[in-house]
Structure 1
Amino acid sequence: MKKIESYFLPLDELERQQRKTGIWCDEFEEEKDYPDHNYLKIQNKLFMENKTIIIRKHRRFAHYPLHSHHFMEFNYMLQGESKQLVNGEKLVLKEKQVLLLDCHSQHELFPLGENDLLINFLFKTSDINLSAFKQIDIENTGVTYDFLLNTVLDSEYHENHLLLDLTDHPEIHLTFEQMIREFFSETRLSNQVLTAFSQVLFLQLSQVYHAQLSTIYHSNTSTVTILKVLQRIEENAKELSLQSLATELGYNRNYLSNLIKKETGKTFKQLIIEQRLHEAHHLLLTTKVPIEVISEYVGFSNKTQFYQKFKHYFNETPQRVRDMK
């Protein structure tokens, strides 16, 4: 079987020109949008005439100026490395990593060498975006997940792009390879097959993303403590008290209360209520237990309070969630 690198290593005509001149040769120059800003906007029509997914290599040997897209793009580093400026941040994309770029991300690439293979996966549909990607449900619900998602995204991840390391995920490299082979085979059903592969790819990348969320903060002592707090809340939100938790962890009650507020932005009581709501939501979707029984089971003695807090937190009533089952 043909090696996957062989699709991309041979130089095309534009790459030969770029190697000679060091200047980017753009086959789409006449179709770009040049409004009153200092970067290029690349339109969907440049790539997406009859396809929903396009796979193409980033041409080597020349600097690609700052630009943005009307579509989502994955930069898959098949071989070598790529120095880039993404939404104002300098980064180096290394082999076996993938960069996910949302619509309207601003993106600049520095010249690739002859052995650097950066493969672009371009997605036409507006349904594919980072917001949808981050919210894929992999049964990671609760106050710990909420904390990691909200806090980590503020500092380590970015609104319009994500960098994921796939070093230990050969199954995802296989999915990328299968998509590449399918794209270049140009069979009658290639579009449908690629769409199916893209759904698998999104789920696989989502698993990596959520796993990376859970490991980012473990080098920080106060955050390790908070993760222990949140774990205990998830285990016993119905009966856990701040005093018993402080005693268990060896902290003064007031100190722990202040630490929780500082690290999560929420009080201990708020976290307890949110965890109870998560548990209720899960039971509404997975059991036939009456709503009133669920309310009491997770720790709400007041039915009216349960309904009010549930509606405020999920923007849905308990009955509406039950009907989604």
Structure 2
Amino acid sequence: MNTRILNFLKQPTLIEEKQKASHRFVEDMPPYAINQELSQKEHGRVLSNYFFRNKDIYISRHNRYADYPTHTHTFLEMNYMLQGSATEIVDGKQITLNTGDLLLLDNGSTHSIKALGEDDLLINILFRTKNISISLLNDLRRSNNIFYDFLLSQVINKQNKNRDYLIFTKRRNQEVQATLDRIIEEYYSNNDFSNSIIKSYLSILLVQLVREYPVSGPHQENKTKLLTIKILKVIAQEYKTISLNELAQRYSYNKNYLSNVFKSEVGQTFSEVLTRQRLIQAHTLITSTSLPIATIMDQVGIKNKTFFYRKYKQYYQKLPSADR
């Protein structure tokens, strides 16, 4: 770890000074970072996507000297113990992290963190499902690894996931820790193109975790999962023109069978996922170009204006003109 960055991370913040004096939690986020409606339903803090306003991956050092209350979130979170130790309660189970350990928390998992001491440095790395590429999973599909299954469940949005977190203890091989250090250094250095470099490092980290933490026993590939990955990859690349009919012909399956398999694995219909992909692409063009809305609709493969505006409002909670 770069000495300058490490010394910076050790410096106390104003919030930490208050917590050290009172040993009580001090709010460290603005009100709009917490989904108040969901928080009331979940009986705990629900952190929103506000962290990703200007970046794909958000990193912070956890505040010390006070217990952090129970909370959940709508994204994936890694807790990396850079130095010292920490005790967390994840879905009712107590977990201790020591230097070099990494905890990966699922979207929706609930956890709290006991007060950290002066020498404890816990780094939070937050990222969303879109940062896990279908191509990466396709490359990893033959790995004998529960981490692969965990990542796969994120991308295909399985409703019956049974893993809320994974723990990776420090190994003699320092590759994982070195990559984590590079991610942290790049984030706090704030150099040009840092966001792109950090995204690349994250992909490297995911591959290293799959390689360094294998699971014993035979790996049995699920054909429907692999077929679903293929379809999701095609949607990501050919969203403008692809159809279920064309996919059925391409992979030599009955259209209804393919539709049922996809719905079973993903939890949404092919049409719903395709529309979502088109809306994501439209949103990118709307917020980053001055192209007319009609041109953008054409470029993403949506022809019905009423349908486009209605679905866009449902997905982004605002009309396209408000995102301009």
Q: Normalising to structure 1: TM-score of the pair? A: 0.58
Distance 1:189 1:140, change over 3 A: closer
CA contact (8 A) 1:74 1:120 kept: yes
Correspondence 1:98-247 to 2 at 5 A: 98-123=102-127, 125-128=128-131, 137=140, 139-140=142-143, 159-209=163-213, 211=214, 213-214=215-216
- 36, 39, 43: which is aligned to 2:41? 36
* Aligned position for 2:58: 54
Equivalent residue of 2:140, what SS? coil
Shift of 1:71: 1.2
> What is the alpha-carbon distance in structure 2 between the residues aligned to residue 132 and residue 159 of structure 1?
23
Distance 1:70 1:188, change over 3 A: same
Correspondence 1:280-291 to 2 at 5 A: none
> What is the alpha-carbon distance in structure 2 between the residues aligned to residue 71 and residue 132 of structure 1?
20
**Percentage of identical aligned residues:** 27
Distance 1:177 1:119, change over 3 A: same
Structure 1, unmatched stretches of 5+, are: 151-156, 215-226, 235-270, 282-306, 317-325
Shift of 1:202: 0.9
Shift of 1:140: 3.3
Structure 2, unmatched stretches of 5+, are: 151-160, 228-252, 263-324
> What is the alpha-carbon distance in structure 2 between the residues aligned to residue 92 and residue 132 of structure 1?
34
* Aligned position for 2:6: 5
In the alignment of these two chains, the number of paired residues is 217
For the pair shown, the structure with the greater C-alpha radius of gyration is 1
CA contact (8 A) 1:77 1:97 kept: yes
Cα deviations by residue, 1:172-199 (Å, 9 ceiling, x for unpaired): 1111111111111212211111111111
Shift of 1:166: 2.5
Equivalent residue of 1:168, what SS? coil
> What is the alpha-carbon distance in structure 2 between the residues aligned to residue 186 and residue 168 of structure 1?
30
Stretch moving more, 131-140 or 114-123 = 131-140
Distance 1:135 1:23, change over 3 A: farther
Equivalent residue of 2:210, what SS? helix
> What is the alpha-carbon distance in structure 2 between the residues aligned to residue 136 and residue 26 of structure 1?
42
Is 1:96 aligned with 2:100? yes
Q: Normalising to structure 2: TM-score of the pair? A: 0.58
Stretch moving more, 31-40 or 110-119 = 31-40
Distance 1:158 1:5, change over 3 A: farther
* Aligned position for 1:241: none
> What is the alpha-carbon distance in structure 2 between the residues aligned to residue 138 and residue 115 of structure 1?
40
